[in-house]
Structure 1
């Protein structure tokens, strides 16, 4: 479920990609019902069982990046990528950190199904 504090934060910054942010928020919370939403690093952040897992990078305001991670603490690297993803949606930074980038609503809509599947796979792989 969307968090009202996140909505208030976003209302206060007047972001030019607000429609894209809202669509991504909807997709993230609908993909995994146990995610909780808060603000971290000046953007929407999503936790599973109080552990950070997905963070929305909204600055600079040219695009929206969704960072898939295992939290703020450095953990031992896995031998391979945490999830299998062949759509090209993710750019891998490390085996346990990847980024999806969206520039407009059309780009979000084109990747909507894969994005939601990626969220579900990510949460399943990082439940620990």
Structure 2
């Protein structure tokens, strides 16, 4: 994929995490979903950028936690008329424009 970054490739090569295979699978799915999405390391994990803003950031916590944070960038934005669509029911909504999907183990 042309939108893969060497920085994230290196990070992933060095990553020691029990859910590394799931992290790689979600990374590949995000990058394959839209060629304009790019990636970088932010907050010690892969983050995915669309139209200049980070939109999806991984949280790779100790003890094997893997979370996908869905957001609209670092700065608070007006949420009037905005809603993420979640037909899966997997997203825990922390705010109208910030959600998290948790992967607690390899079975999820």
Mapping of 1:86-125 within 5 angstroms? 86-107=87-108
Hey, which of these two has a bigger chunk of helix by percent? 1
TM-score if structure 1 supplies the norm length?
0.73
Aligned residue among 69, 72, 78 for 2:71: 69
Gaps of at least 5 residues in structure 2 are none
Higher relative contact order (CA 8 A, sep 6+): 1
8 Å contact 2:17–2:64 — kept in the other structure? no
Offset from partner CA, 1:69-111 (integer Å, 9 cap, x none): 01011112335x612323211110100011111234542xxxx
Alpha-carbon distance, 1:60 to partner: 2.5
Verify: 1:26 aligned to 2:28, yes or no. Answer: yes
TM-score if structure 2 supplies the norm length?
0.85
RMSD after superposition: 1.7
Q: Secondary structure at the match of 1:89?
A: coil
State the partner residue of 2:46. Answer: 44
**C-alpha separation in 2, matches of 1:29 and 1:101:** 19
